[in-house]
Structure 1
Amino acid sequence: MNTTNRRNWLKSVALGGGFTLMGGLPVLLATTPSTTQAPFAKLNANENPYGPSPLVRDVLKTGMDAGCRYPFAYLKPLVKAIAEKEEVSEDCIVVTGGSTEGLKATGLVYGMGGGEIIAADPTFQALLSYAETFGAYVHRVPLDSSQTHDLEAMERRINSKTRLVFLCNPNNPTGTLLDAGKLRDFCLSVENRTLVFSDEAYYDFITEPDYPSMIELVREGRNIIVSKTFSKVFGLAGLRIGYLVARPDIALRLRERLMANTNTLAILAAEAALKDDSFYKFSLQENTRAKQYLYSEFDAMGLEYITSHTNFIFFKTGRDIRTLIPQMMEHQVQIGRPFPPLMDWARISTGTMEDMKSFASALKKVLA
Structure 2
Amino acid sequence: MTSNASRRDIFRTAGTAFVGAALAGLPQRRAFAQGAMPAASGEMLRLSANENPYGPSESAKQAMTAALSEGWKYATSEMPALAKLIAEREGLTPEHVMITEGSAEILRVVALLYGSSGSEMISARPTFEQAPGYAEKTGGELVWVDLDKDMKHDLAGMEGRITNKTGLIYVCNPNNPTATMMPAKDLRSFVGAVNTRAMVLVDEAYIDLVDDPAGSAMVDQVRAGKNVIIARTFSKIHGMAGLRLGFALARPDIIKRMNAVRMSSPNKMGLVAGLASYQDKEFMATSKKLVRECLNMTCKTFDELGLKYTKSQANFVMFDTGKPMREFSTAMRQKNIAVGRPFPPYDTWCRVSMGRLEQMPQFIDALRAHFKKV
Q: TM-score, normalised by structure 2?
A: 0.90
Tell me how far apart the structure 2 counterparts of residues 210 and 252 of structure 1 sit (CA, whole Å). 26
Letter in 2 for 1:31: A
Letter in 1 for 2:27: V
Bigger radius of gyration: 2
Letter in 2 for 1:144: D
1:103 match: 107
Q: CA deviation at 1:209?
A: 6.5
**Residue aligned with 1:173, SS:** coil
- Give 5+ residue unaligned stretches, structure 2: 1-20
**% of aligned pairs identical?**
37
1:328 match: 332
Mapping 1:149-298, distance limit 5 Å:
149-208=153-212, 211-298=215-302
2:62 match: 58
Q: CA deviation at 1:323?
A: 2.3
Q: CA deviation at 1:114?
A: 0.8
2:314 paired residue among 296, 306, 310? 310
Residues 26-84 of structure 1, C-alpha deviations (whole Å, 9 max, x = no match) = 31122235459671221001111111111111111111112222223321111111111
Report if aligned partners of 1:25, 1:282 keep a CA contact under 8 Å in 2: no
2:119 match: 115
Tell me how far apart the structure 2 counterparts of residues 86 and 285 of structure 1 sit (CA, whole Å). 23
Q: CA RMSD in A?
A: 1.8
Tell me how far apart the structure 2 counterparts of residues 76 and 208 of structure 1 sit (CA, whole Å). 28
Tell me how far apart the structure 1 counterparts of residues 241 and 341 of structure 2 sit (CA, whole Å). 18
**Residue aligned with 2:358, SS:** helix
Tell me how far apart the structure 1 counterparts of residues 30 and 171 of structure 2 sit (CA, whole Å). 39
Tell me how far apart the structure 1 counterparts of residues 216 and 302 of structure 2 sit (CA, whole Å). 30
Moved more, 219-228 or 25-34: 25-34
1:4 match: none
Residues 115-155 of structure 1, C-alpha deviations (whole Å, 9 max, x = no match) = 10001000000011011100001101000000000001100
Q: CA deviation at 1:210?
A: 6.0
Q: Does residue 148 of structure 2 align to residue 144 of structure 1?
A: yes
Letter in 1 for 2:286: F
Tell me how far apart the structure 2 counterparts of residues 254 and 187 of structure 1 sit (CA, whole Å). 20
1:83 match: 87
**Residue aligned with 1:211, SS:** helix
**Residue aligned with 2:208, SS:** helix
Report if aligned partners of 2:173, 2:204 keep a CA contact under 8 Å in 1: yes
Tell me how far apart the structure 1 counterparts of residues 110 and 265 of structure 2 sit (CA, whole Å). 14
Tell me how far apart the structure 2 counterparts of residues 194 and 286 of structure 1 sit (CA, whole Å). 39
Letter in 2 for 1:111: G
Letter in 2 for 1:103: L
Tell me how far apart the structure 1 counterparts of residues 257 and 242 of structure 2 sit (CA, whole Å). 27
- Give 5+ residue unaligned stretches, structure 1: 1-19
Tell me how far apart the structure 2 counterparts of residues 366 and 40 of structure 1 sit (CA, whole Å). 18
Letter in 1 for 2:200: V
2:368 paired residue among 339, 361, 364? 364
Report if aligned partners of 1:66, 1:265 keep a CA contact under 8 Å in 2: no
Q: TM-score, normalised by structure 1?
A: 0.91
**Residue aligned with 2:323, SS:** coil
2:76 match: 72
Tell me how far apart the structure 1 counterparts of residues 113 and 76 of structure 2 sit (CA, whole Å). 23
Q: Does residue 31 of structure 2 align to residue 27 of structure 1?
A: no
Tell me how far apart the structure 1 counterparts of residues 282 and 340 of structure 2 sit (CA, whole Å). 29
C-alpha distance 273-340 of structure 1, shift in aligned 2 (>3 A): same
Report if aligned partners of 2:183, 2:216 keep a CA contact under 8 Å in 1: no
Moved more, 242-251 or 202-211: 202-211
